[in-house]
Amino acid sequence: MEPAKGTGAMSPQNIKQVIKERYTRVVIPSKDSAGSCCCGSGSSCCSPELSTFSENYDHLEGYVPEADFGLGCGIPTMFADIKKGDYVLDLGSGAGNDCFIAAGVVGESGLVTGLDFTDAMIDKARSNANKRGFINVEFIKGDIEEMPLPGSYYDVVISNCVLNLVPDKNRAFAQIKRVLKPTGHFCVSDVVTKGELPAELREDAEMYAGCVSGAVEMEEYLEIIQKQGFKNITVCKENEIVLPQEVLDKYYTPAEQKEKSSLKGIFSITVTASVN
């Protein structure tokens, strides 16, 4: 398994450990990181200016505020064409935010499965589900690259700002195809780049956990999906993520900032594709 582009000497195992630790702190803050987000205490990617990563969910039916840590970069359920009775899988489900939205759509005849590899997130999601009395939602611990799930089982796979964190994205999308029914499709919101990012930013583990330096080029991202045999690949939404000035000053000279165009930078995209 090859490390994700831009992670320097970090092994896939080290990358995953960093992510687990950061997302555990979201649920169980340490004394040193109280009040910080997934990036850890003092990290610039946790600054309020980066609230543009996350979109507002409070107008959606089924929204559970306790499940929303503001870690997404889109609302995949809006484009996922989820229907009553569907079996839906949410990859990197966290505290259950997108799962609970989907659960209201599939109804009692459907099922929503949340997959996450962080114990604290799984515990929080199950607690949220129990408090709200959800009977059509389950949460399973597992790695997206090695899903402990049956093949050809789900109608829809969703994910929100998670697959960019996975070291082996080819394997992740291969697993998505494996668990989808032949009539199934996916809808994922994720972070991608356009143009080259400074090497120092890509090698910053704190920024990696904050969904930036784990991102690949948009064209490469879409090619990975295509290589796995998916059809009808569509970018439904695309937004530029504006980094706060302190991050720009750290990684870009004033001249580079002035020359930066909308054709380069960090973007959130929501992509759909079908098995057939």
- Does 6 reside within a domain? no
Least confident of 45-59, 99-113, 152-166, 194-208: 45-59
How far is Cα 81 from Cα 61, in angstroms, rounded to an integer? 15
- With contact defined as beta carbons under 8 Å apart, do 144 and 167 qualify? no
Q: What is the pLDDT of residue 219?
A: 96
Q: Given pLDDT bands bounded at 50, 70 and 90, which one contains residue 188?
A: very high
Q: What is the pLDDT of residue 46?
A: 37
Q: Tokens standing for 53?
A: 């990563």
- With contact defined as beta carbons under 8 Å apart, do 212 and 191 qualify? yes
How far is Cα 88 from Cα 128, in angstroms, rounded to an integer? 18
Least confident of 42-46, 83-87, 213-217, 230-234: 42-46
- Does 4 reside within a domain? no
> How do residues 94-139 score in pLDDT, each as one tens digit?
999 999 999 999 999 999 999 999 999 999 999 999 999 999 999 9
* Number of domains the chain is built from: 1
Residue 49's CATH number = 3.40.50.150
- With contact defined as beta carbons under 8 Å apart, do 153 and 179 qualify? yes
- Does 7 reside within a domain? no
- Does 18 reside within a domain? yes
- Does 30 reside within a domain? yes
Burial class (CB within 10 angstroms; exposed 0-12, middle 13-18, buried 19+) of 262: exposed
- The Cβ of residue 253 has, within 10 Å, a number of other Cβ atoms equal to 11
Q: What is the pLDDT of residue 17?
A: 86
How far is Cα 271 from Cα 219, in angstroms, rounded to an integer? 12
Q: Given pLDDT bands bounded at 50, 70 and 90, which one contains residue 251?
A: confident
Least confident of 110-124, 173-187, 260-274: 260-274
Sign (positive or negative) of CA dihedral 63, 133, 92, 48: positive
Q: What is the pLDDT of residue 47?
A: 36
How far is Cα 230 from Cα 272, in angstroms, rounded to an integer? 10
Q: Tokens standing for 230?
A: 């998916």
- Does 246 reside within a domain? yes
Q: What is the pLDDT of residue 172?
A: 98
Q: Given pLDDT bands bounded at 50, 70 and 90, which one contains residue 211?
A: low
- With contact defined as beta carbons under 8 Å apart, do 10 and 3 qualify? yes
- In terms of residue numbers, what domain contains 41? 12-274
Give the chain as a 3 state SS string.
CCCCCCCCCCCHHHHHHHHHHHHHHHHCCCCCCCCCCCCCCCCHHHCHHHHHHCCCCCCCCCCCHHHCCCCCCCCHHHCCCCCCCCEEEEECCCCCHHHHHHHHHHCCCCEEEEEECCHHHHHHHHHHHHHHCCCCEEEEECECCECCCCCCCEEEEEEECCHHHCCCHHHHHHHHHHHEEEEEEEEEEEEEEECCCCHHHHCCHHHHHCCCCCCCEHHHHHHHHHHCCCEEEEEEEEEECCCCHHHHHHHCCHHHHHHCCCCCEEEEEEEEEECC
Could you tell me which residues come within 8 angstroms of residue 23 by beta carbon, excluding any fewer than 6 positions away?
Answer: 38, 71, 94, 118, 120, 121, 209
- Does 5 reside within a domain? no
- Does 2 reside within a domain? no
